[in-house]
Structure 1
Amino acid sequence: MKRRPLEFEIGEKAYVKVSPMKGVIRFGKNGKFNPRYLRKYISNPSHVLEIEPLVVEGNLNKELKYEEVPIRIVDTKKQVLRQRTIPYVKVQWSNHSEREATWELEEKMRKQYRYLFEEKIDSSFEDETLNKEGGM
């Protein structure tokens, strides 16, 4: 199949068709731009999208990111190694369900998020006092 040579004037727009390379790209091999993928493009106003203002919902910052904050401790466990024991806590994070809770080092969580353990201490203290008084 023969193709005629393409010529463009300064200021003209062209549509470039790029297809992915087949196979595995080996070290040192670069893809090449071939002018046969160029076609003359006539501008069409229907191809232009109007920009609408973005409405941000939730607690996102200016970069459209949100900080994941732990909500509560779901479970605890101690991993026993040969010479030491490592305490872990299972943490439920904001914007995630309980099924997506993750195991984190207890020491790290105590340093960064003290309030999680303060609530747990208070509730266990109440349980102990109820047990002593015969409430349960």
Structure 2
Amino acid sequence: MDSLDTDLHRDVIEQVRMIHYRLLTAQNRQKSYEDRRVRDSVFIEGDHVWLRVAYKLALPPSLSAVHPVFHVSMLQKYIPDESHVISLDFMEEGHDMTYEEDPIAILDTQQGKLRTKENASLKVQWKHRSVGEAIWET
């Protein structure tokens, strides 16, 4: 080998080392960002949790077919609050576990315009719901 080959070989090895060093630096930086963002969640039996995504389940009357396990990424800690409890006494459930709510009052109206289309919205108070729980319906 002559000196030109040796110098070229040495330059290639140095470039590979530099690439390797820069990759490790980038990986460490990404790991530190992720470590700051991710926290270990610990749940024990009896804890209340919120589901991040709500599922509409078709439940049989006996509820025996419900699998109570959700992926931990779907759960977050929940502190019980009496204001979150919805009384189910007033609901008349159908055989398929659904119910219908009836509107009892129109509290407000508004006209909206989306490009060339006009649409009216009504603020509706539903039976067994407070005025604060009224929602806008088209």
More helix by share: 2
TM-score, reference length from structure 1: 0.32
TM-score (norm 2): 0.32
